[in-house]
Structure 1
Amino acid sequence: MQIRRLVRHALLLTMLAATAARAGTLVIESWRVDDKTLWEKVLIPAFEKNHPGIEVKFTPTAPTEYDSSLAARLAGGTAGDLIACRPFDVSLSLYKKGQLEKLDGKPGMQNFTPTSLVAWQTDDGKDTFCMPVASVIHGFLYNKKIFKKLNLQPPQTVDEFFAVLEALKKGGVTPLALGTADQWESSQMVYTNIGPNFWRGEEGRKALIAGKARLTDAPFVEALQFESRMGGYLGKGASAQTYGDSQNLFALGRAGIYPTGSWDISYFGQTPGLELGAFPPPVRKAGDPCFISDHMDIGIGVNRKSKNKDDAYKFLAWVGSQEFADIYTNRVTGFFTLSHHLIAVRDPVAKQMAEWRNSCASTIRFNAQVLNRGQPSMESELWNINAQVLNGRLAPKDAATRLQTGFAKWYKPQQK
């Protein structure tokens, strides 16, 4: 009998230990499959070092499948404890369905400015449902060797920009590594990259939301006119050139300038012999204030049905720390912390782009908030229309009219 009691007691302790282990296991959902090794080898061990007893697992889903599969798991009660959040409407929809916790006042949230929270707040700004993690910055990369050979300097104004493109063309180099086959680059790497210097960043974006500006107004048309001029400096067959093709063209040193976002720095950093430089989108004329698209890319929230909320909030507090901000910024090159911690960015090109924040005002892709909610889809329209403008198939004024007409069909403030 004594032996049986001891065996039962040992089994009970084993079961309790196993239950405790399961209770302390956090699962992170994400679309960032490229970050899996970083999470498993660096970030998670850094957290677990000071949080013994909490096990963390990173379980990413392919980016194209993430939104639908996450929605299904959340609805079915099988989603992880911590949720990587897309910016704006996708995550807002999850919050409205009661699937994400409200995070206002939670430890770590105090390390973010009100501006950095916008992508993960309700429209009235009263509820915050994801902690900001990182943003990406738009601009231009250039080949330093080519610039040196042709005695060129990074342009600062619109006139200087086109003078450089012309010099590259005359020098026998494809000026811009840019294609329009995939369309999204035309919008996200060109129009919403160069546009803020025309519509004055947040001023123009908020005016569209308020119905006080139209996409046919001069600043928005001028951005399309700039883009139309860029179309004359694309390589042969640009309409069939994919994003990957453009990357290869630039990596091989066959193009002088690559319109892009900071996320591409790490890709080109692996190319032997390629000397990278970066410059921000050109201003209209010397002395004008500059604006950059500093777009909120990823946040992290807590699943309302998580059974490990105490541990989830401990992890979230760490995500809001300087240690996390430093590791993420310097290991996921081109993704910049949104916290107000002072971080020394080690990659020279990423550092260069991050420093633009000190001299230029930050804004986001102008259609990201509110303006993607109707039909025709503003995002889809921007992809298609900007590709046509670059290809010379659609005049800037006609493009602006089409954008505005589609916008006004569903957005009441634009119908006044």
Structure 2
Amino acid sequence: MKRMLQGILLFTLICLSVTTIAFAQVKLTMGSWRTEDREFYEKVIEAFRKTHPDIEISYEPTKNTEYNTTLNIALQTGTGPDIIHLRPYTPGIQLAEAGYLEPLDGNIAGLEQYADSTLIASRAPDGRIYGVPAKFSSIQIFYNKKLFAQYNLQEPQTWDELIQIAETLKQNNVTPFAFGSKDGWILALTHAAFGPTFYGGNEFVEKILKGETNFTSPEFVKSVQIMKDLAAYFPKFYTGLGVEEMRTLFTTEQAAMFVEGDWEIAVLRKENPNLDFDCFPIPSATGGKPTVSTWVDASYAVNAHSKNKEAALKFVEFLATKEFGTMVSEDLHSIPTIPGIEASDPLIAKILKYATDPETSTPYMIVVYFNQGNPSTKTEFQNLVQGMYLDQLTPEQVAEGTQKSADTWFKPAAQ
């Protein structure tokens, strides 16, 4: 009897041991610059673990302005995250070329659903795909509905109407635009909002890629001049304000308009749940259609040197499903890259309409096509615009400096 009990006990211990091994936890880390989206990604991880309980994922974001440097150092020292929130286009592709990323085509399902124009955000020169497109982003003007109603203002249909709105607000001691030039990336983004209606949108992009025009053209100079002219409607001491201060001006209703990406919707709602706001595209200065600059805003990649590569690939594959696409729309309040996802949020549905319409959508040109060089042409442009706002440079000098940077690496398609 004693031996029988010992046998049963031994069998039970073996079963428990096998069960423990079967459900052993694989622990992954996910790097990102989206500190604001922690709650969303933890929800995504929870959804993934319903079918993969053996995989734990820790979301570990870094401050936006420090992410690139932090990630590069981590990858160089072999301590990079298993899953990488990849900057779109050139910065991400450079990591692939350096051997830090695992090719995804052939390793995960779901990539076939994306358009080629979407996949270029993470397609390297070798033709391989290194990232699952995260989401589309767009730039528009958010506005305070209460302040607009207070001064009988309507969404502008022309550029002149937008300027008249800004004048009315200024005359009533309301800051028209929540803006600051301290953070360089905001300057490139703001120009991507206002610039296309002056330099010619898609037509200009096609010409510059073919070498038929360049950044010193009168229309591009005009697009930079407009950035300077709008300073009349910015807050006092705007050169010392960063994006957090800009956001605070808008959420505390001190400023009526806020030029930003769609990712701000969730952040604005969280910071001030009572804020009643809407958005509109950039009205045309020439009587044409409004414009909305769009791009693939990051992708999800797998560290080629991850010790748990198989588990990381499973998670990235989940990010190519309609379940995740729906979460992007409904929980992150952003534009999913996965086709066929509709938005129930009226604000997201409105943005989706403009962002996917070829007559209004235009690429975020300097991110999609001019983010190369050392420093990149995008970085150089941002620095030059900062100099313009400090009255150190003219719009013509900004344009000339931008072209000088592009000349160091860019080869037009016609050449």
Name the TM tier (shorter chain).
0.7 to 0.9
> Any conservation in 2 of the 1:224–1:389 contact (CA below 8 Å)?
no
TM-score by length of 2: 0.86
Q: Which deviates further from its counterpart, 348-357 or 24-33?
A: 24-33
Cα offsets for 1:174-202 (capped at 9, x unmatched): 222212233432221x2111222334444
TM-aligned CA deviation for residue 57 of structure 1: 1.0
1:355 to 340, 353, 356: 353
Residue pairs, 1:385-400, within 5 angstroms: 385-390=384-389, 393-400=392-399
Q: Distance in 1 between matches of 2:99 and 2:129?
A: 13
Match for residue 380 of structure 1?
379
Match for residue 214 of structure 1?
214
TM-aligned CA deviation for residue 74 of structure 1: 4.1
TM-aligned CA deviation for residue 318 of structure 1: 2.3
Residue pairs, 1:196-345, within 5 angstroms: 196-269=196-269, 270-271=271-272, 273-286=274-287, 288-333=288-333, 335-345=334-344
TM-aligned CA deviation for residue 276 of structure 1: 0.7
Match for residue 129 of structure 1?
130
The answer on 1:364 being equivalent to 2:366 is: no
Cα offsets for 1:242-284 (capped at 9, x unmatched): 3333222222222222222222222322325432121111212
Cα offsets for 1:294-342 (capped at 9, x unmatched): 1322211223344545444443332111111111222123x32111122
Q: Distance in 1 between matches of 2:196 and 2:25?
A: 48
> Any conservation in 2 of the 1:174–1:234 contact (CA below 8 Å)?
yes
Q: Distance in 2 between matches of 1:28 and 1:247?
A: 27
> Any conservation in 2 of the 1:83–1:301 contact (CA below 8 Å)?
yes
SS of equivalent residue, structure 2 residue 301: strand
Paired AA for residue 116 in structure 2? P
- RMSD over aligned CA atoms reads 3.2
Q: Which deviates further from its counterpart, 226-235 or 382-391?
A: 382-391
Q: Distance in 2 between matches of 1:148 and 1:357?
A: 26
Match for residue 143 of structure 1?
144
> Any conservation in 2 of the 1:176–1:259 contact (CA below 8 Å)?
yes
TM-aligned CA deviation for residue 225 of structure 1: 2.4
Paired AA for residue 43 in structure 1? V
Q: Distance in 1 between matches of 2:302 and 2:293?
A: 28
Match for residue 118 of structure 2?
116
TM-aligned CA deviation for residue 129 of structure 1: 0.9
Residue pairs, 1:51-66, within 5 angstroms: 51-63=51-63, 64-66=65-67
> Any conservation in 1 of the 2:30–2:85 contact (CA below 8 Å)?
yes
TM-aligned CA deviation for residue 16 of structure 1: 5.1
SS of equivalent residue, structure 1 residue 129: coil
Cα offsets for 1:350-401 (capped at 9, x unmatched): 3332221244443332222452322453223222222344565533223212
Paired AA for residue 355 in structure 1? K
Paired AA for residue 352 in structure 1? K
Match for residue 103 of structure 1?
104
- Segments of structure 1 that go 5 or more residues without pairing to the other structure are none
Q: Distance in 1 between matches of 2:73 and 2:390?
A: 40
Q: Distance in 1 between matches of 2:376 and 2:403?
A: 12
TM-aligned CA deviation for residue 143 of structure 1: 1.5
Q: Which deviates further from its counterpart, 72-81 or 129-138?
A: 72-81
**Cα 1:77–1:229 shift into 2, 3 Å:** closer
> Any conservation in 2 of the 1:198–1:284 contact (CA below 8 Å)?
yes
> Any conservation in 1 of the 2:192–2:364 contact (CA below 8 Å)?
yes
Paired AA for residue 55 in structure 2? E
Q: Which deviates further from its counterpart, 211-220 or 311-320?
A: 311-320
Match for residue 160 of structure 2?
159
- Segments of structure 2 that go 5 or more residues without pairing to the other structure are none
Q: Distance in 2 between matches of 1:101 and 1:16?
A: 32
TM-aligned CA deviation for residue 14 of structure 1: 5.6
Paired AA for residue 365 in structure 1? Y
TM-aligned CA deviation for residue 404 of structure 1: 1.6
Q: Which deviates further from its counterpart, 94-103 or 203-212?
A: 203-212
**Cα 1:104–1:233 shift into 2, 3 Å:** same
Cα offsets for 1:97-138 (capped at 9, x unmatched): 3332222353111222211112111247x2211010112210
Q: Distance in 2 between matches of 1:176 and 1:65?
A: 26
SS of equivalent residue, structure 1 residue 155: coil
Q: Distance in 1 between matches of 2:377 and 2:92?
A: 18
The answer on 1:402 being equivalent to 2:401 is: yes
Paired AA for residue 363 in structure 2? I
